[in-house]
Amino acid sequence: MKLWKKSIDINAQVEKFTIGNDQQMDLVLAKADVLGSLAHTRMLESIDLLTAKELEVVQKGLKSIYKEIEAGRFVMEEGMEDIHSQIEFQLTKMVGNAGAKIHSGRSRNDQVLVDLKIFLRRELYEIIELVKPFFNLLQELSDRHKAVLIPGYTHLQVAMPSSVGLWLGAFAESLVDDCQLLLSAYKICNKNPLGSAAGYGSSFPLNRTLTTELLGFDALNYNVIYAQMGRGKCEKITAMALANLASTLARFAHDNCLFMSQNFGFIKYPDEFTTGSSIMPHKKNPDVWELVRGKCNTIQALPNTISMLTNNLPLGYNRDLQLLKESLFPALQQMKEILKMSTVMLQEIIVNKEVMSDPRYLFAFSVEEVNKLVLTGVPFRTAYKRVGLEIEAGKFTPNYAIHHTHEGSMGNLCNGPIKQLLEEVLQAFDFDRFLVAEEKLIEE
């Protein structure tokens, strides 16, 4: 079934090519499409395009379909072009002519727009819900291991003392900025395009403010042309936010791979969290972290993929936009799996507390010795040269005591203020607005 079909059957090859993977991708949007229709039909009744009786049966039918989707019983039938066609066809079979009225004042263009925004805000909510325990675990381990020294590096050369607490705390703070970008994506996604129709509005007296309230959106996409221009833009901004989060996780995964290798030995994981070799019995490979790194690097390419699909498209809907789902939807699922697995792994980390006793890290304390001389009144450049000459002469003897007190240093991690920053960002999402609205739409 095609909502636009009149008297001529489309060529079978053209039909197959244009539908592509839409049936599989659209199943992801099924619940969002029903939610959009629940709000839209209530609005249609408010402007007398549905009677109260028609609204009652339509609402009941849509809620029944929603339950089918939640139970995993909903399917896309053979010949259905997209999710909008399937739901309208199924509803009309259930309730008769009233189901055939629900498309009034809508186009599939604004249907897919509102579906995507409902879907994406839910995905961002679920991602944030997975970031929170990972962040908390990083901070908990940071506090626990704040005094465990490891070498810091520049140019992959031993540089200065660091600590396990400082290392883990850095990634926690990075997540704060990542959440800030996710918040920006969420705020852009959480605007209502419904009622823009094909991108030029409708002669029906639609009440777009009502559907905005019913769906729990923060605001409208007011200009109907801009609402249509949001297709692709919303996905790209979400992809950019995902890419930044992926960058943090990829670097963390790489550090784990590096630090658990024998040449570093700063950390390790229980045997059951590593894999082995088919010929080398001693191997304990960091496959999970390697896959996290690889998947995150793939996600970091996503904004470019979306840009290449959307750049220079003419105004209005273009079928190219259909392909965005195939890139974005799997990436969202991957990100959730990455966050879950990263948390599972990090819970099992085992920290080597004796790393700095290895003589190869002797010179990591050279700056500490320079600074101690400066604190006694020796000019910095003189102190630097004196310690440098001691190193060259093989006479350098470090003091392993570390005394860092400034904000953000090993002795003053500032994990509390960092947590406060995250809480402020999380409060700004105001997820309850849409969660409550959706719950009201589907309640009996």
Give the pLDDT confidence of 336-347 residue by residue, as tens digits. Answer: 999 999 999 999
Query: Would you say residue 70 lies in a domain?
Result: yes
Query: Is a pLDDT exceeding 70 seen at residue 1?
Result: no
**Among 65-79, 151-165, 168-182, which stretch is predicted with the lowest mean pLDDT?**
65-79
Between CA 147 and CA 353 the distance in angstroms is 9
Structure tokens at 90: 């199924």
pLDDT at res. 9: 67
Q: Are 153 and 195 within one domain?
A: yes
Centroid of chain to Cα 253: 17
Query: Is a pLDDT exceeding 80 seen at residue 15?
Result: no
Amino acid at 323: L
Instruction: Work out the burial of residue 69: count CB atoms within 10 Å of its CB; fewer than 13 is exposed, 13-18 middle, 19 or more buried.
Output: middle
Helix (H) / strand (E) element for 150: namely strand 149-154
For 163, the 3-state DSSP assignment is: strand
Question: Degrees (nearest 5) of the Cα angle 293, 299, 303?
Answer: 145
CA proximity to 414, closest of 137, 141, 143, 133: 143
Q: What is the pLDDT of residues 212-259, one digit of tens each?
A: 999 999 999 999 999 998 889 999 999 999 999 999 999 999 999 999
Question: Degrees (nearest 5) of the Cα angle 85, 87, 91?
Answer: 120
Higher-confidence residue: 301 or 274? 301
Strand partners, 157: 154
Query: Would you say residue 364 lies in a domain?
Result: yes
Share of the chain above pLDDT 90, in %: 81
Please list the helix, strand and coil fractions of the chain in percent, rounded to the nearest 5, in that order: 65, 5, 30
Between the CA of residue 139 and those of 144, 165, 368, what are the distances in Å? Answer: 9, 8, 26
Of the residues 101, 130, 151, which one is the last residue of a structural domain? 101
pTM for the whole thing?
0.92
Total tally of structural domains belonging to the chain? 3
Query: Would you say residue 269 lies in a domain?
Result: yes
Q: Are 377 and 338 within one domain?
A: no
CATH number at residue 152: 1.20.200.10
Query: Is a pLDDT exceeding 80 seen at residue 416?
Result: yes
User: What is the overall mean pLDDT for the chain?
Assistant: 92
Q: Are 94 and 233 within one domain?
A: no
Range of the domain at 62: 12-101
Dihedral sign computed on CA atoms, order 177, 178, 181, 187: negative
Q: Are 388 and 352 within one domain?
A: no
Contact 168, 201 (CB under 8 A): no
Query: Is a pLDDT exceeding 60 seen at residue 5?
Result: no
pLDDT at res. 104: 95
Q: Are 424 and 365 within one domain?
A: no
Name the phi and psi angles at 237, rounded to 5.
-65, -40
Q: Are 316 and 364 within one domain?
A: no
Question: Degrees (nearest 5) of the Cα angle 345, 290, 356?
Answer: 70
pLDDT at res. 282: 83
Query: Would you say residue 433 lies in a domain?
Result: yes
Q: What is the pLDDT of residues 373-409, one digit of tens each?
A: 999 999 999 999 999 999 999 999 888 888 899 999 9
Query: Would you say residue 4 lies in a domain?
Result: no
Query: Would you say residue 1 lies in a domain?
Result: no
pLDDT at res. 4: 42
Q: Are 401 and 432 within one domain?
A: no
Q: Are 223 and 366 within one domain?
A: no
Higher-confidence residue: 13 or 179? 179
Sequence-ordered alpha helix ranges (H) in 100-206: 108-144, 164-189
Query: Would you say residue 201 lies in a domain?
Result: yes
Average pLDDT over residues 161-170: 97
Q: Are 255 and 347 within one domain?
A: yes
Q: Are 67 and 30 within one domain?
A: yes
Between CA 112 and CA 119 the distance in angstroms is 10
Q: What is the pLDDT of residues 302-352, one digit of tens each?
A: 999 999 988 888 877 788 888 889 999 999 999 999 999 999 999 999 999
Query: Is a pLDDT exceeding 80 seen at residue 192?
Result: yes
